[in-house]
Amino acid sequence: MNLSKVDNIIQDYKGNPSSLVMILQDIQEELNYLPEPVLNHVAGKLSLSVGHVCSVATFYSSFSLEERGKNVIRVCDGTACHLRGANLLKDEIVRALNISEGQTTEDKLFTLEVVACLGACALAPVMTVNKKYYGQVTREKLLATLEKYRQKDSCVLSEPNDSKKTD
Amino acid sequence: MTVKKLTEPDALAKYRDSLVASSDDGKPCVLICGGTGCRAGGGLAVGDAFREVLEQRGLTEKVEVRMTGCHGFCEQGALVVLKPAGLLYVRVTPEDVEEIVATSIEGDGVVERLTYREPATKKRITRESDVPFYANQQRVVLADNGRVDPTNIDDYIAAGGYGSLAKALTQMQPDEIIDAIERSGLRGRGGGGFATGRKWRSARNATGQPKYVLCNGDEGDPGAFMDRSIMEGNPHSVLEGMVIGAYAIGADRGYIYVRMEYPLAIENLRIAIDQATQRGVLGENILGSDFSFNVKISRGAGAFVCGESTALMASIEGLTGEPRAKHIHTSEKGLFGKPTNLNNVETWANVPVIIDKGVEWYTSIGTENSKGTKVFSLVGAINNTGLVEVPMGITLREIIYDIGGGIPKGRPFKAVQTGGPSGGCLPENMLDLPVDFDQLTEVGSMMGSGGMIVMNDHTCMVEIARYFTDFLRRESCGKCTPCREGVLRMYEILDSITAGRGKMEDIDLLEEICGYVRDNSICGLGKTAANPTLSTLRFFRDEYIAHVKDHKCPAGVCQALTTFIIDEKTCKACGACLKACPVEAISGGAKKKPAKIDQDKCTTCGACREACLFDAIMT
């Protein structure tokens, strides 16, 4: 594994151990997850124990120690979304992709995460795919959206275009 | 672009005057809501469309297009306001823009179909200020949110921004500032409601250097997005408050802790910090004075408990976000063991207003022990979902019915939940309760950070208690046993009741554990974790009993205890339920033949009931 990117990130924070959380965030942004050798490497560079780095990496829910899919679907289960059928939406994705919460599809195309609140309560139920928001998601809209990302993967388009305002 | 640094307080006033003089009040301006909600609804594309159409028509110089912070009326996004007329257009798409420009900018007409239609009266309202959602609010903290471009400090300065800072630096001693904040009665808007002035004073009196000033932007309550909207929409108001606070306390450095789920807030704060530093209202020798204050952003990594003060500080230090017992206050030993003052986003945003308008003005708003306004995010089963700012002491009924427009589809109101997972659910007979810190605590809920979730008759109160407790047992950091084990046991009992396995003695045990967790946990998360359960047991006990004794979920939510049937007489065979059913358990529903549910296939998810337009699906 090429660790030069990791070293650059550590350098950005001047190797300061109190920046550990942000260093791990930047590494995950770059590598999509936190592989074990990287955690060991970070611990060495910051003169921290591997145990300490691992405790931080496993404490915060945004860190993943496993490789995630190309597209990360986040279903909001905030209170407003919960009341407007977030569970139904989650179940529908589970059925459509045959994975459960926290898992990644075999083709590494999708990872399903359930998060506490995305703060877009007016659009409940909400999900995001990567950084794009999809509001008032119905069953039909969901299936169409998943299909769009599958298509995108096979013909290498940029982010799918949506003409409708709340997609 | 090189920016001229302002090196004395007078220079700020002069600069503002020059900005105001060069702006033309009569110049048409398109204000587009750029909050996360409207962006998700296509707000950015609407902005692009305006720029494009105006350019095509040679109007670029004559009309300003401004992307502002959240306007608050999220339900109706994407929102567009046209100044100076004050026209409000709702649910605008890029395709509408040409018509808007032709009718309302080139002409002086109104595009009727894009105006707001009041659900109750079906009346169209053209001006923003006449819409009941806005007309019944009192916007103090959010006043500039829909007007200024958060990525342009000049907008904020032109609106009077950083004037309070200049006043504080030149006309007030630190003690006078603290005195003013104390007399204003400002209490922490993050949930605790602790007196802000008192907090500042203990941090000022604490010995040790450096001192830290922190902003808590880890808005973790599900269903709350007030702080996000302030950080996104008016980041300079937060910075200005922090600089004034740091000057009063004697701190020279600080952090803004923002949850990573708010990328736009982080981006806009970063821009604001850069611009404020370049302008000389942040950083070294602020406005030419001896006072320096530097602030950094620290991103959260997804842990609800980090909204707790000591956990937040641990997280900034790069540690796991575990709280500690506060035998020693953080004002004496906080971040990196140094005196630290932490306030919430909305609290900071109140500070410049108090300094600017004065204590007397501020204390004229609110109730005896809760002064000023409070921003709530009004969500759930409500017509006007969005962000509302109201004076303390307003009743729940006024918020829900006058501003929120009541419950959609005429369904009955059942409960309102305030305070997030630490708060409680209040029933209909409490709708006339004046909303302030003490009144809400008295009835077993709390103000919290300002989430207000409205529930209708399709909400099961046992399931809601289960939902919040599930959230809390996941988010419990695990450090202290009462919270780690107690909340988990509470969840298990609630889960078994909603699954139809509950026994009457479970309810007693649940209450017993609730008391134990409340009395023995280290931090606020555990101390308040029982509130959702205790408040629903207090006000909706019969629902618990119905689950246990009658094996029925009266709201028709708990799948194990619900059977849905379609009333043949009410069914209009429209087929809406067929489309909604994820397991194809419904047949008929076409050619005047009423729909019918195959109970063997039905998973009682309730999707059909929500889809039904005629209330024909019953439990």
Indicate whether B2 belongs to any domain. no
* Domain termination residue (choose one: B417, B436, B456): B456
Indicate whether B437 belongs to any domain. yes
> Residue B235: which domain range?
153-362
d(CA B30, CA B85): 10
DSSP B160-194: TTTHHHHHHHHH--HHHHHHHHHHHT-B-TTTT--
Give the residue carrying structure tokens 């404020």: B276
Q: Let me know whether B481 and B466 are in one domain.
A: yes
pLDDT surpasses 80 at A157: no
**Model pLDDT for residues B91-119, shown as the tens digit of each residue:** 999 999 999 999 999 999 999 999 999 88
pLDDT of residue B1: 54
Helix axes B235-249, B226-233, angle to 10 degrees: 90
Q: Let me know whether B452 and B499 are in one domain.
A: no
Segments of chain B scoring below 70 in pLDDT: 1-2
d(CA B389, CA B383): 17
How distant is the Cα of B319 from the closest Cα of chain A, in angstroms?
6
Those residues whose C-beta lies under 8 Å from the C-beta of residue B551, and which sit 6 or more positions away, are B500, B561
pLDDT of residue A164: 38
pLDDT of residue B216: 96
* Domain termination residue (choose one: B456, B482, B511): B456
Structural element, H or E, at residue B485: helix B481-498
Residues of B in contact with A83 (CB under 8 A): 380-381, 453, 455, 459
Q: Let me know whether B91 and B202 are in one domain.
A: no
Structure tokens at B11: 């220079």
pLDDT band with cut points at 50, 70 and 90 for residue A19 = very high
Indicate whether B192 belongs to any domain. yes
User: Strand order of the sheet with strand B386-391?
Assistant: B386-391, B373-380, B451-456, B413-418, B424-427
Indicate whether B470 belongs to any domain. yes
pLDDT of residue B314: 96
* Domain termination residue (choose one: B433, B456, B479): B456
Those residues whose C-beta lies under 8 Å from the C-beta of residue B93, and which sit 6 or more positions away, are A165, B42, B45, B46, B78
pLDDT of residue A162: 43
pLDDT of residue B498: 96
Strands (DSSP E) contained in B340-397 are: 340-344, 373-380, 386-391
DSSP B446-471: --TTSEEEEEETT--HHHHHHHHHHH
**Model pLDDT for residues A94-125, shown as the tens digit of each residue:** 999 999 999 999 999 999 999 888 878 888 89
Interval A154-166 mean pLDDT:
45
Residues of A in contact with B221 (CB under 8 A): 117
Give the residue extent of every domain in chain A.
4-59, 71-155
**Minimal Cα distance from A23: which residue of B?**
B318
Query: Hey, are the CB atoms on A116 and B304 less than 8 Å from each other?
Result: yes
Query: Hey, are the CB atoms on B301 and A63 less than 8 Å from each other?
Result: yes
Indicate whether B7 belongs to any domain. no
| Residue A35 sits at the chain B interface (C-beta within 8 Å) | no
The CATH number of residue B384's host domain is: 3.10.20.600
d(CA A31, CA A53): 17
Q: Let me know whether B302 and B269 are in one domain.
A: yes
pLDDT surpasses 50 at A163: no
Query: Hey, are the CB atoms on A133 and B39 less than 8 Å from each other?
Result: yes
Indicate whether B214 belongs to any domain. yes
Q: Let me know whether B388 and B498 are in one domain.
A: no
Q: For residue B399, how many C-alpha atoms fall within 13 Å in the half-sphere facing its CB? A: 35
| Cβ contact B146:B70 at 8 Å | yes
Residues of B in contact with A17 (CB under 8 A): 318
Give the residue carrying structure tokens 């370049």: B278
- Cα angle for residues B209, B212, B215 (degrees, 5° grid): 175
Interval A21-39 mean pLDDT:
94
Q: Let me know whether B339 and B358 are in one domain.
A: yes
Question: To the nearest whole number, what is the mean pLDDT of chain A?
Answer: 88
The CATH number of residue B323's host domain is: 3.40.50.11540
Residues of A in contact with B263 (CB under 8 A): 131
Indicate whether B134 belongs to any domain. no
Higher pLDDT, B249 or A87: B249
pLDDT surpasses 90 at A14: yes
Q: Let me know whether B304 and B197 are in one domain.
A: yes
Chain-centroid distance, C-alpha B52:
33
Structure tokens at B429: 């007979």
Residues of A in contact with B299 (CB under 8 A): 21-22, 25
d(CA B117, CA B111): 13
Q: Let me know whether B593 and B516 are in one domain.
A: no
d(CA A61, CA A54): 13
Give the residue carrying structure tokens 């679907």: A73
Query: Hey, are the CB atoms on B222 and A120 less than 8 Å from each other?
Result: no
Q: What is the identity of the amino acid at A119?
A: G
CATH entry, A71-155, from 3.40.30.10, 3.40.1390.20, 3.40.1550.10, 3.30.160.150 = 3.40.30.10
Q: Let me know whether B381 and B527 are in one domain.
A: no
User: Strand order of the sheet with strand B87-89?
Assistant: B64-68, B29-33, B80-83, B87-89
| Residue A8 sits at the chain B interface (C-beta within 8 Å) | no
Residues of A in contact with B317 (CB under 8 A): 18
A140 burial via Cβ count (<10 Å: 0-12, 13-18, 19+): exposed
User: Strand order of the sheet with strand B340-344?
Assistant: B294-299, B253-258, B212-217, B340-344
| Cβ contact B351:B246 at 8 Å | no
Bridge partners, A130 (sequence order): none
> What total of structural domains would you count in chain B?
5
Query: Hey, are the CB atoms on A18 and B36 less than 8 Å from each other?
Result: no
Indicate whether B145 belongs to any domain. no
**Minimal Cα distance from B75: which residue of A?**
A122
Tell me the pairing of strands B116-117 and B124-125.
antiparallel
Exposed e or buried b per residue across B366-383, where buried means at least 16 C-beta atoms within 10 angstroms of its C-beta: bbeebbbbbbbbbbbbbb
Q: Let me know whether B439 and B573 are in one domain.
A: no
pLDDT of residue B222: 85
How distant is the Cα of A153 from the closest Cα of chain B, in angstroms?
23
pTM of the model: 0.92
